[in-house]
Structure 1
Amino acid sequence: MNLIDTHAHIYSSKFDSDRDEVIDAIKMAGVERIYMPNVDVETIDRMLDCERRYPNFCIPMMGLHPCDVKEDYQEQLKVMKSWLDKRSFAAVGEIGLDLYWDKSFFEQQKLALKEQIEWAKAYDLPIVLHCRESMDETIEIVRESHDGKLKGVFHCFTGDLTQAMQIIEMGFLLGIGGVSTYKNGGLDRVIPHLSLENLVLETDAPYLAPVPHRGKRNSPQYLPFIAERVGDLLQVSAAEVALRTKKNALGLFKEFTHEL
């Protein structure tokens, strides 16, 4: 299988002790590219170091994660905008809303999301959206900001079928990860009603490892388990899932090039 992981934090410190070995295992598993979402100002150097070490394999995005929207979010956004001004990135991400961890900066999260969506429109880039416990609120902001050309991924989709159809109607893709393999994840009631043309695969490594590795450090090398689960739910082969979701990912992110 030739797979693409559209969302993995391979630059995380959780991989510092064995990153080269993990990358080798990822390639052996049939994963041919990893798209890396940024989190905050502190993660930029780590992410770009991964790009330098594994060129054309680890591809960076640029954005401010909603959980890192705090008092200084405007200063952080200035730094990220300066990076977008001086070099290319595959997407604006990971951006969005999060009502799971901390609701105290929710209004600032919405402002940061709207600003970063405008960046994506200005640079003609897709957006990669985090929407934990905030699916409806995120859909509403994206719909309000949509200019007819805006596109992207609702990362780690765990919503219901109504939400899935709203996202698809806006021209966005659903990022399907390890939750699809969980017994009570809920995606077994949604994915069978969808088409492969609306999906991309992701791991969100080092988080949310799929069964049979649930509870352990996640890695893009486990992406085949997610492809197999999606294939089972759609009654197609894992190879077909890999082929179609790879096409979707490459179509969304375009052919990324950056001179290192």
Structure 2
Amino acid sequence: MIDTHAHIYASEFDNDREEVVQRALAQGIDTILLPNIDLDSIEPMLNTEKQFPDVCRSMMGLHPCYVDANIEQTLATIRGWFEKHNFIAVGEIGIDLYWDKTFKAEQELAFVTQLQWAKELNLPVVIHTRDSIQETLSLLQQEQDGSLRGVFHCFGSSLEEAQAINALGFHLGLGGVSTFKNSGMDKVIPHLDMEYVILETDCPYLAPTPNRGKRNEPAYTNLVAKRVAELRNISLEEVNRITTSNAKKLFSL
């Protein structure tokens, strides 16, 4: 199984990163994908990949919550990294209007710029959206020339939005939110096109039930898979087989 979105390079894991990876492996999660968020996360992310070369793979991008007035300089630095290292995706990128709308224009510029890199480098994109799904879809529609592919990570929206995302050729990353009682995902997951579903944790955030509120970790990918199997009335093995195959194809693993 593959955890397609995990921040195990974060300081929350500094005391037990080795054990966290071992627990993931014990649960059958043999690949962990690491999204970058800003300039400060690059070094710890690459160190984590180096520490676990058979398990971890890095991506490179600028998360919308770290976009500010220095956007052009920051993007130039991030772009330079693609010449120095082999990344599996452009991510984590997107638009977040939940916390702060001050740099909305800059967020949109950063998003479109990074989508253009993905086309140029022939890499998938990993998209973060919060209170911004329509804005994100609209920009994606403008940029989609048939070559853009990727995932809306941490998906927790409606079936209509899932179908709009799939219509653009994009996958849905299902994580802890899928297990929350009041998320409404119990009504959505049974109707999703499984060809476009991959699994993730977004750890250390959004731990699935019954660990909600605690630190999340890649081993809990299994809990998400079990919930998807339950809601779709198929076996856990089938969920693992489909989502792993989708992730391998999307990220060329």
Residue from 183, 207, 210 that aligns with 2:208: 210
Comparing 86-95 with 208-217, greater Cα deviation is found at 86-95
Which consecutive aligned stretches of 4+ in structure 1 deviate over 6 angstroms post-superposition? Answer: none
Partner SS for 2:41 = helix
TM-score, normalised to structure 1's length? Answer: 0.96
Quote the residue 1:159 is aligned against. Answer: 157
- How far has the Cα of 1:87 moved from its partner? 2.3
Quote the residue 2:145 is aligned against. Answer: 147
Quote the residue 1:12 is aligned against. Answer: 10
Alignment length, in residue pairs?
A: 253
Alignment of 1:27-38 (within 5 A): 27-38=25-36
In structure 1, C-alpha distance between the alignment counterparts of 2:169 and 2:119, rounded to whole Å: 14
In structure 2, C-alpha distance between the alignment counterparts of 1:250 and 1:41, rounded to whole Å: 27
Comparing 50-59 with 189-198, greater Cα deviation is found at 189-198
Quote the residue 1:239 is aligned against. Answer: 237
- How far has the Cα of 1:136 moved from its partner? 1.1
- How far has the Cα of 1:158 moved from its partner? 1.1
- How far has the Cα of 1:86 moved from its partner? 2.6
In structure 1, C-alpha distance between the alignment counterparts of 2:141 and 2:228, rounded to whole Å: 27
In the alignment, structure 1 segments of 5+ residues that lack a partner are 256-260
Tell me which amino acid in the other structure corresponds to 2:84. Answer: K
- How far has the Cα of 1:237 moved from its partner? 1.0
* Residue 84 (structure 1) aligned with residue 82 (structure 2): yes
In structure 1, C-alpha distance between the alignment counterparts of 2:29 and 2:243, rounded to whole Å: 12
Tell me which amino acid in the other structure corresponds to 1:118. Answer: Q
Tell me which amino acid in the other structure corresponds to 2:183. Answer: G
- How far has the Cα of 1:197 moved from its partner? 1.1
Quote the residue 2:117 is aligned against. Answer: 119
In structure 1, C-alpha distance between the alignment counterparts of 2:147 and 2:231, rounded to whole Å: 30
- How far has the Cα of 1:238 moved from its partner? 1.3
Quote the residue 1:73 is aligned against. Answer: 71
The share of aligned pairs that are identical, in percent, is 50
In structure 2, C-alpha distance between the alignment counterparts of 1:58 and 1:76, rounded to whole Å: 25
Tell me which amino acid in the other structure corresponds to 2:150. Answer: G
Cα RMSD for the two superposed structures: 0.8
- How far has the Cα of 1:34 moved from its partner? 0.5
In structure 2, C-alpha distance between the alignment counterparts of 1:158 and 1:241, rounded to whole Å: 18
In structure 2, C-alpha distance between the alignment counterparts of 1:141 and 1:64, rounded to whole Å: 17
Quote the residue 1:174 is aligned against. Answer: 172
- How far has the Cα of 1:12 moved from its partner? 0.5
